[in-house]
Amino acid sequence: MLSNFPSRGLPLSQNTSSSPLLSKSSSRLSSAQRPKRQKQLLGSSGPRKLTLASSTTDFFPNSDSLSEKYFNSTWLALNSALDNVFHDQPISDSFEALYRGVENLCRVDKSRSLWENLKMRMTNHIAFDFVKQSLEPAVKSSDSADMVKLVVDKWLKWTAQLKIVQNMFFYLDRSYLLSSPNDLSIIETGYSLFRKHIIIDGEIGEPFFASLMSYFELHRSHKLEDTKLIALAIDMIFKLDVYLANFHVRFLHSTRAHYHDLSEANIESMPIPDYLKLTMSALDFESDQATTFSFQSTTRVDTVAVVKEEMIKSKVDIIISRGFDDLVDAEDTQSLEYMYQLFTQVKESKALLTAFGEYTKREGLKLVMDPAKDAIMVASLLAFKAKLDRILAASFAKDDDFSNAMREGFADFINKRQSVPAEMIAKYVDELLRAGNKQMDDKELETRMWGVLILFRFIEGKDVFEAFYKRDLAKRLLLNRSASDDAERNMLTLLKDECGTSFTQKLEGMFRDTEISRDFMASFKNSKYSTAKETGIDLYVNALSQAFWPYYPDTTLVLPPEMNTALESFQQFYFSKQTGRKISWRHVLGHCVVKAQFPKGKKELSMSLFQTVVLLLFNDVDDGKSLTYEQIKTATDLDDKNLTRTLQSLACGKVRVLSKEPRGKNVNPGDKFAVNLKFEDKAYRLRINQVQLKETPEENKEVHEMVKRDREYEIQGVIVRIMKTKKTVKHVELIRQTIEMTKERGTLDLSDIKKNIEKLINKDYMERQGADTYVYLS
Amino acid sequence: MKVTIDKWIGVSTWHWNHAQDEVCGICRVAFDGTCPTCKYPGDDCPLIIGECKHAFHMHCLLKWLTTESSKGLCPMCRRRFKTATE
């Protein structure tokens, strides 16, 4: 410590009054060593201690008057030195002399008075020199006084002065203050005085902090070039120990005010992505600022919390209502991610979750509800789903709650429209699996199947899907239009995994039927029944079990004799192998490969049986001659609907093997048909049986009705099962259980259940007992 | 023009010769379908016709006859069930 003293080399004798005392005290300097020696002696032998101790007391004459005098003169010297220090002037006495003076006073038990005097002197200096003379006038003179600068200046000055004072009174500090429990050290006292008079009491603290806050304000708007002053002020605040009580609170308050204003000014006008970016950068800024000025961690945490509160938490609703939909529409994953992070941090992610769920529902409903867009429904749903998935992954950290909300949204809107989505999904799958759809490879096909299956999962009316899927599958299998067996099987496995074996049992049965038929036909070909040689017709028959396949109505058709022969022989073969069965023909599904010799070349036509039969009629008509609609109708016995479609496909489609008189898109009774002698086409093989693949409105209606019928049977079955176990049951309970048991089939209309209860009562399965109870009748 | 059929892919459905549109009196599934325990219709799950002319899925009826309460009677007409011999 002593080595830090600036050596002024002032002669002691200049202060006459104090010199004898000081010289006396210098002689005592040896006594300062005495306790040390005493200790050393103590260490070797104990008994000597007493003698030495008594001699020590003898050494100090207990004379009050002397010490009083001595004290006053020494204090005078010290006081004038302090005066110099406090006014930044050089000290006239040598530091060493002053130091010794202090030491001597302490030794004569004057520490207390010396300390009181020093404290008084320091208090006066701060209260008068700093506050009254300099700071207060500055506060009063103008509002714009740079209080931070003034106070920090004073602080710097004060700390420098304190250091000198501390050195001067070092002995007091160490020997007396350190061991006195009620007194602070000189430095601490100096700080405490500064704190008391400048920061806490009086009129300086408030303007100082206000001014400091305005510095921060400047800093936030990046207008503050030099942050050194703030750093010094913060350092002072730390040292004065007014950080938490005074600074922290004020700082948070001003931060809140700042971001409150910022948020209010921008929330309505700024685009939401910019607003979110602004918030993010504000958070970064505050965090950096806390580091730069080494704020306490609580301040950093609280500040960041305040920013989030003002910028986000209080504005959650506005942010969502102003920006959310647009962001999702534009797939702004970055902004959505900010939104997700910020909302989660302020524990408002629920609002975002709700918005996301509602968006899914609302936008999805738009895709589903418009009948004009039915054709592209599935494709657009898939695109919609893919987009939301991307957002989920990129913005919402694959949050389970969010993907649940999305799933719920899908399940909700997709079932808002009865049946149609299920139908469209089935048709989409049909298109995927249908031959001629070769533009995608297996992998692409599989991903699409997966995608569509996810949509399928949301569908409640799975029976509708099944009905349409079955119908489409039947056509693919029977008309040989399936793209690949593997793909079909894959799809079947996926459906099985999804809905269980009972769901796919019929579909599997269909595959089995076609396999059985394949084997069966192989043995037919080798049997004596085969008529391929005589008739020239290579007949292949799919013999199906009715239960698995969609229902096809019987149609009348007159076959040419050689076809009949072929058919007969097959039937004979069939009956020879299977007993107890009979066969009905589904000609509407039959198709043929036909060789036709046109004037302009030979063609191989793949066409429906109806088309074939009609075309065969023209074998007996001379070229150029025509047949009327009625003639064809009599010859084939086809009903009007089928005949019209068939003729239309032959005479009005893309490949026109017949010509029609009069020309036109529609076939009407009385129209005349002739072979199109000018027919030509680049390809040798032509396919003109698309008409068979296409679904007619009647077919569509029929499927829907069938589904409805099946549902009724199922409901009735469920009701009977419940009644059978319960015997008597209340109406409400019956309804509840019925819904429970048919849940996986899809939602039921309450009126449907009631209608079927009614039907069962009519059929005497059950009867009413009282107002709300049913009894089972066995 | 001359047209000849090269290949003909026909489609037919088979039915049990007996009672085409009816359902089994026990399981209420169409005869052309299977009894509840079978997966594929056909010879694996044939019909059985009693002397009383009532027909059932064979599996359904045999199951019924093993139960105590059946007393060997036809579930439809309560006459003793005997398989019809054609």
Q: Which residues of A touch B9 (CB under 8 A)?
A: 478, 480, 540-542, 590-592
Q: How many other C-beta atoms lie within 10 A of the C-beta of residue A257?
A: 14
The CATH architecture one would assign to domain A698-776 is Orthogonal Bundle (1.10)
pLDDT at A292: 86
Those of residues 14-33 in B touching chain A at CB distance below 8 A are 14-18, 20, 28, 30, 32-33
State the alpha helices, DSSP H only, in A142-185: 147-168, 170-171
Instruction: Label each residue of A27-92 as H, E or C.
Output: HCHHHHHHHHHHHHHHHHCCCHHHHHHHHHHHHCCCCHHHHHHHHHHHHHHHHHHHHHHHCCCCCC
Nearest residue on chain A to B13, judged by CA atoms? A544
Model pLDDT for residues A245-267, shown as the tens digit of each residue:
888 888 999 999 999 999 999 88
Nearest CB neighbour to A505, from listed B12, B39, B42: B39
Residues of chain A with C-beta less than 8 angstroms from the C-beta of B32:
545-547
Listed by start position, the domains of chain A span 2-209+223-242, 243-311, 509-587, 590-695, 698-776
pLDDT at site A32? 42
The reply to whether residue B13 touches residue A717, judged by beta carbons under 8 angstroms, is no
Cβ distance A547 to B34 less than 8 Å, yes or no, reads: yes
**Quick one: pLDDT at residue A54?**
41
pLDDT at residue A50 in the model: 43
The CATH class of A590-695 is alpha beta
**What DSSP string describes A118-148?**
HHHHHHHIIIIIIIIIIIHHHHHH-TT--HH
Cβ contacts (< 8 Å) between A596 and chain B: which residues?
A: 1-4
Mean pLDDT, residues A306-326 taken together: 88
- Whether residue A492 has pLDDT greater than 80: yes
Does residue A721 surpass a pLDDT of 50? yes
Q: Choosing among A475, A592, A623, which should be mutated to test the B contact, i.e. which has the most B CBs within 10 A?
A: A592
Q: Which residues of A touch B84 (CB under 8 A)?
A: none
Res. A27: pLDDT tops 70: no
Predicted confidence (pLDDT) at residue A16 exceeds the cutoff of 70: no
Q: What is the DSSP letter of A665?
A: S
CATH number, span A2-209+223-242 = 1.20.1310.10
pLDDT of residue A143: 62
- Does B14 sit within 8 Å of A545, measured CB to CB? yes
Confidence of residue A48 (pLDDT cuts 50, 70, 90): very low
> Does B67 reach chain A within 8 Å, measured CB to CB?
no
| DSSP for A682-714, written as a single string | S-SEEE--HHHHSPPHHHHHHHHHHHHHHHHHH
Residue A245 to residue A252: CA distance in whole angstroms? 12
Residue A45 pLDDT > 70: no
Longest dimension (CA), chain B: 72
Contact assignment for B4 to A595 by CB distance below 8 Å: yes
pLDDT tens digits for range A350-377: 888 999 999 999 999 998 888 888 888 8
Q: Is the pLDDT of residue A17 over 80?
A: no
B18 to chain A, closest Cα gap in Å: 8
Reply yes or no on whether the pLDDT at A88 is more than 70: yes
**Fold for the domain defined by A509-587:** Ring Box Chain A; domain 5 (4.10.1030)
Residue B70 distance to chain A (closest CA, Å) = 14
Q: What mean pLDDT comes out for the span B12-23?
A: 74
What does the alpha-carbon distance between residue A51 and residue B20 come to, in Å, rounded to a whole number?
137
Domains with residue ranges and CATH for chain B: 16-86 (3.30.40.10)
- For residues A536 and A112, what is the distance between their CA atoms, to the nearest angstrom? 136
Mean predicted confidence (pLDDT) in A682-695:
79
Contacts of A598 in chain B (CB under 8 A): 1
Q: What are the structure tokens assigned to A167, written together?
A: 């050195």
A chain contacts of residue B17, beta-carbon cutoff 8 Å: 580-582
> Shortest CB distance from B12 goes to which of A505, A541, A598?
A541
Distance from CA of B37 to the nearest CA of A (A): 12
Nearest CA in chain B to A622: B1
